Structure formats: C-alpha cells, structure tokens
Amino acid sequence: MIREKYARLAYHRFPRTTARYLGHPQTDTAPPEEGLPDFHPPPLPQEDPYCLHDAPPNLGYLVRMQGGILFVYDDQKMLERQEPHSLPYPDLETYTVDMSHILALITDGPTKTYCHRRLNFLESKFSLHEMLNEMSEFKELKSNPHRDFYNVRKVDTHIHAAACMNQKHLLRFIKHTYQTEPDRTVAVKQGRKITLRQVFDSLHMDPYDLTVDSLDVHAGRQTFHRFDKFNSKYNPVGASELRDLYLKTENYLGGEYFARMVKEVARELEESKYQYSEPRLSIYGRSPEEWPNLARWFIQHKVYSPNMRWIIQVPRIYDIFRAKKLLPNFGKMLENIFLPLFQATINPQDHRELHLFLKYVTGFDSVDDESKHSDHMFSDKSPSPDIWTSEQNPPYSYYLYYMYANIMVLNNLRRERGLSTFLFRPHCGEAGSITHLVSAFLTADNISHGLLLKKSPVLQYLYYLAQIPIAMSPLSNNSLFLEYSKNPLREFLHKGLHVSLSTDDPMQFHYTKEALMEEYAIAAQVWKLSTCDLCEIARNSVLQSGLSHQEKQKFLGQNYYKEGPEGNDIRKTNVAQIRMAFRYETLCNELSFLSDAMKSEEITALIK
C-alpha cells in the first residue's frame, strides 16, 4: 500500500492485480491511460520529428525551490503568500516514516521467514510447472504462426548512450574520421585551433595502427570490483581528450561525432526491425545550460530514431562538483537539473527545443558506484539540499528522494497540461547497501540491476508482489560485481519477478555486432532457457520500457495492459498462454494469502 501511494502520486505504474487484492480495484473497463504514465507516441511517417511549432502557450506560473523541491505558484501574488499551485507536493516527514516502516519490515524475523519460504515455494512451483508443462508450452509456440524468438520485440531497457556502440564500432569510427577529415579543427585549446591530426600527434598515435587492444575500452578481469577502473575505460586509449571528442554531446564540434555514432547504432536497430533501446544521456546539474545544449544537440544532429527512446541519467557526483567549487550546495544541483524542465513545461513557447526533446525522453536514471559508502544517514533531521554545503556526497537514499520528489511534482504539472510524464528508473541494487532497494521500492517505477534482492528475502518478495520491473545485465555484472554463474537472473525469472535483459555498456562488455542478442544468447546457453522463457523476458522488456501505449498495443497486443493471459497476445509475443496463466494464478495465490490474513486481522480487531 505504501508503494501504491508513491506510485500513484508520480504516475508510476502499479499492477492492477496487486491493487485489487489490496482493496483498491481498478476496473478493467477503465481506460488504460488511467493511472498510467503518458508517453508521446512516435511521430507518424509523414510527420517531422523535429517540428517546433506545436508548443502550447505560456501559463505564466512561477517556480521556486524550497528545501530541494520545486514549488509552482500561479503568480507573483501567490508566491508572496506562499500559496503554491494546487499539485501534490511530497512530504519528507511522511516519507521518512514510510521508509522506517519498510526498514523495520525487512529485518523482522517472522516476516523474513515467511518471505523466504514463499520465495522457495515460488521457485519449486516453477520447477514443477516446467517439468509438467514444458512440452505443452513448446507445442503452443510451435503452432503459433509467423512468430518466433527472432521476431518478437525486444527492448534494451538499460544502456548508456556513451557506450552503446561496441568497441569495434568505435575503433572503426575513429579510424574513419582520421582518414576522411584529418585537417578538420576539432578543439580549441588556449585560443589555438587543434586539428584531428594534431590530437593524435599529441598522443603519439597513428590511428591506422589503433586496435581494440590499444583502444582499451573493454572491461576485463581488471575491472572486477573496481568501479573506478571501469569508469576510466570510457577514455579511449586512456585519453580523456578522445572521450570528449567522440563520446560527449558538448565539445567544439557540438557533439557531432557522438551523434553520428549514435545514429549508426540507431540505423542498425531500425534494420533489425524488432529491437529497440533506451539509451541514457547525461545531465550533470553543473549548470542550467546543460538542458538547452542537450536539446540542441539532439535536434541539430537529427538524432531521433523510432527505435530509440531516451532516458536522462544523473550521476551522483555532487561531491566532485562541490570540491571544484562549481556548486554552492546540493540544492543548486537539483535546481540545475529540474528548473529548466519546469520552465519548459510552463512556457514551452520560449523553450521550443527542450519542449520538443522532452517528447522523446521518457524517464530519469540515477547512476554511479553504489558500493561507495556514505557516513550520512538520511532522515527528516538531515540538512535540506539548500543548506547541504559540505563537500561530502549525500547518501543514495537522499539522492533518490529528491529526484523522485521533483519528478513527482513535475509529472503532476505536466499531466495537468496534457504533456508526457517521466518514469524514475534508477540504478539500484548493483552493489552497496540493500537499503538502496528500500528507497527504490518507494520512489522508482522500475530499476536497473537489482542483484542485491538476492540478499533480502523480504525485499525480493515485495518486489515480486509489486511486480517491479528489473532490467538485469548479467554480462555487465560479470565484469564488475558478480560472476555470471552466480547471477540471480534465472532464479528471479523462475520465481516470477518481472525481469528483462539489457546490455548496460556494449562498448565495455560485448564482443559481437549484436550486443542485445549476445546478452540473450549467453543467458539462453548458460542457463538453458527455453524459447518461452526468452520470449517472456522480451515481453517484460517491452512492458518495462518507455514505449508509448500505441506501440505497446502494436507490439504486445491490444490488451497488453491487462494482467494474466487475457493481456497476452501469443501471435505477437510468442509467450505461451500456459505460462501466462501460471504466472497469474501464482501471483493471485500469493496475494490472496496476504489479503485473507489482513481480513482475519480486521475481524479479530472488530471482535476485540
């Protein structure tokens, strides 16, 4: 019920079945849009994806940050009276109470035993299902015409744009630019123009001799449990100059090289026809100019692709900016990240480029090394962002709360205007403390990684009951935090958690031209997944993604938003109805145990 509250406030998703058992039914005849996030459908073929002329009028609202959260005021008068525009605003005190409630729950002995047992039961139940129904499932799939694992839609639900090409692709692109335009000015240093040839000369390198070995962007054994080393792999040949030149949106070339590579990746997706991806682009919060610059990069280089939908990642590196005196306090970072979005929402006419770009942005990610320990414990006694001036980085849960809070207000404002809303989809549970998964349980629509659910039966069971989508990247984990064979993906899938497969960083982790297929192939081989398993993962990936309602209907079936077998169109998903029925019955079974227990408690309370 706690998660449901936070989900509804932010237009995040909450499963209808679970809501029904919690006593908050949603009729299946209700329009699917109800309570769902709103994503722009892609422009029609005859439409211009870069059209800047449909910006709605200026509402004239004012926005002020208070305690790290942006408040909207109708006008100057209301601002003076401190009467914000009627939107839900988050309340830190309630939030900390809710947090501590769940924190208490996950350490409660009997609850742990109960969840542990239920999870064991779920796993055994699936094994039994598999033994009994494997051949029937396959028979269903064999008689399903024209659809197989290769032509069901798959979304790469977690991939960083700066690493979305594989190492060979990056190498070829670098060589190509050097061959075709060595004398082009690509940077200015101390007022002096520098050509591409000079860049390589200064690195004492001839691109002809460059290899994937000397490029050295691939993660290897050296990066295991070394996120710091992994991060430096983003620098080709160890040179940050090349990263700036080839993998950034802001540089002397206006990010042209990066845009060209991303577009090459997009063309491959479009040719593959059935593959989509949700690359992350960075907003750092150093300056409010980052947003208009990013929007301009997108439009100027025509980066739109029907097979890509964009996520904004915010690295949790306030401490670095603060140490360099780029920011006075954490509140300023939040303001830089969110104020431009409020402005573009209130007055799209004056922020046409950003307004347009936001149509193709469907969510926010929070990224960085989770294994870094923080001394600070987030509570309602913590300094609020505007007075967080220390050089210490706020803890994970602090970041998550303030990201969620601002996205929540923003979504409500945008919804009021009929504009698209955003999902909060942080990295969570890759490493570090399991309390991260508690924060995300409240604040996130879905998460990336979720490995540490392995360590907390209560959280794992809660994530199951709430069917929180988890984008897992076992090949990435294998290079960074967890050996492939120990990855819990297979176990999670069997139990019925809502998992999808994603690549994270093809540049660092993959060998073949088709990174997402490599990810599926290795999982299939190592864990002996069946075709039905693979197609279930692919279906999950589409559901989890920020693809629009219209696209999901096209890719998964008219009724995709319904739960259980009636939400499945096997002709489109190639998932056996037997499997869907098993999942649905199993979930209902678990939920009915709980709701029965709740009812009997209520009765006991009444009798008393």
CB atoms within 10 A of CB 31: 9
Stretch binding a second copy (CB under 8 A), from 209-217, 256-264, 331-339, 548-556: 209-217
Structure tokens at 145: 């015409």
CB atoms within 10 A of CB 37: 21
Q: Binding to a second copy by residue 145, rule CB under 8 A?
A: yes
Give the angle subtended at the CA of 296 by the CAs of 295 and 301, to the nearest 5°.
110
What is the DSSP-derived secondary structure letter of residue 253? Answer: T
What is the DSSP-derived secondary structure letter of residue 471? Answer: E
In the region spanning residues 465 to 504, those forming contacts with a second copy, defined by CB under 8 A, are: 475, 478, 484-485
DSSP 3-state assignment of 72? strand
Stretch binding a second copy (CB under 8 A), from 106-114, 190-198, 524-532, 597-605: 524-532
In the region spanning residues 158 to 187, those forming contacts with a second copy, defined by CB under 8 A, are: 168
Binding a second copy by CB under 8 A: which of 59, 526, 581, 588?
Answer: 526
Stretch binding a second copy (CB under 8 A), from 203-211, 253-261, 336-344, 590-598: 203-211
What backbone phi and psi angles, to 5 degrees, belong to 512? -95, 175
Q: Binding to a second copy by residue 203, rule CB under 8 A?
A: no
Min dist CB 564 to a second copy, Å, is: 23
Q: What is the amino acid identity at position 278?
A: E
Q: Which residue lies nearer to a second copy by CB, 261 or 344?
A: 261
In the region spanning residues 527 to 546, those forming contacts with a second copy, defined by CB under 8 A, are: 528, 530-531
Give the angle subtended at the CA of 127 by the CAs of 121 and 133, to the nearest 5°.
125
Spell out, one character per residue from 247 to 276, where the chain touches a second copy: x when CB under 8 A holds, - when not.
------------------------------
CB atoms within 10 A of CB 255: 25
Min dist CB 586 to a second copy, Å, is: 21
Structure tokens at 187: 């940077």
Give the Cα separation of 534 and 528 in Å (integer).
10
Min dist CB 171 to a second copy, Å, is: 8
Min dist CB 268 to a second copy, Å, is: 12
Q: Which residue lies nearer to a second copy by CB, 60 or 220?
A: 220
Give the Cα separation of 99 and 73 in Å (integer).
29
* Helix residue spans in 347-453 (DSSP H): 352-359, 396-417, 435-443
**What is the biggest distance separating any 2 CA atoms in the chain, rounded to whole angstroms?**
86
Q: Which residue lies nearer to a second copy by CB, 77 or 142?
A: 142
Binding a second copy by CB under 8 A: which of 1, 521, 597, 603?
Answer: 521
Q: Which residue lies nearer to a second copy by CB, 102 or 152?
A: 152
Give the Cα separation of 479 and 231 in Å (integer).
12
Q: Binding to a second copy by residue 209, rule CB under 8 A?
A: yes
Give the Cα separation of 340 and 147 in Å (integer).
44
Binding a second copy by CB under 8 A: which of 211, 240, 349, 589?
Answer: 211
Min dist CB 524 to a second copy, Å, is: 6
Give the Cα separation of 318 and 329 in Å (integer).
9
Closest CA to 160 of 220, 239, 219: 219
Binding a second copy by CB under 8 A: which of 86, 512, 550, 589?
Answer: 512
Q: Which residue lies nearer to a second copy by CB, 76 or 211?
A: 211
Spell out, one character per residue from 565 to 594, where the chain touches a second copy: x when CB under 8 A holds, - when not.
---------x--------------------
Pairing between β-strand 185-189 and β-strand 192-195 as defined by DSSP bridges: antiparallel
Instruction: Say whether 498 is catalytic.
Output: no
Min dist CB 457 to a second copy, Å, is: 26
3-state per-residue secondary structure call for 488-535: CHHHHHHHCCCEEECCECHHHHCCCCCHHHHHHHHHHHHHCCCHHHHH
Min dist CB 219 to a second copy, Å, is: 10
Q: Which residue lies nearer to a second copy by CB, 211 or 592?
A: 211
Q: CA 474, 478, 479, 482 torsion: positive or negative?
A: positive
Q: For the chain, what's the residue count?
A: 608
CB atoms within 10 A of CB 214: 12
Pairing between β-strand 69-73 and β-strand 154-160 as defined by DSSP bridges: unpaired
- Size of residue set near a second copy by CB under 8 A: 47
Q: Which residue lies nearer to a second copy by CB, 99 or 210?
A: 210
Q: Which residue of the set 218, 436, 449, 510 is catalytic? A: 449
Q: Binding to a second copy by residue 399, rule CB under 8 A?
A: no
Give the Cα separation of 303 and 280 in Å (integer).
13
DSSP 3-state assignment of 406? helix
Binding a second copy by CB under 8 A: which of 9, 36, 78, 212?
Answer: 212
Q: Which residue lies nearer to a second copy by CB, 29 or 143?
A: 143
Spell out, one character per residue from 429 to 468, where the chain touches a second copy: x when CB under 8 A holds, - when not.
----------------------------------------
Q: Which residue lies nearer to a second copy by CB, 397 or 574?
A: 574
Interacting residues with a second copy (CB under 8 A)? 134, 138, 141-151, 168, 206, 208-214, 216, 220-221, 475, 478, 484-485, 509-514, 517-518, 520-522, 524-526, 528, 530-531, 574
- Which active-site residues does the annotation give? 449
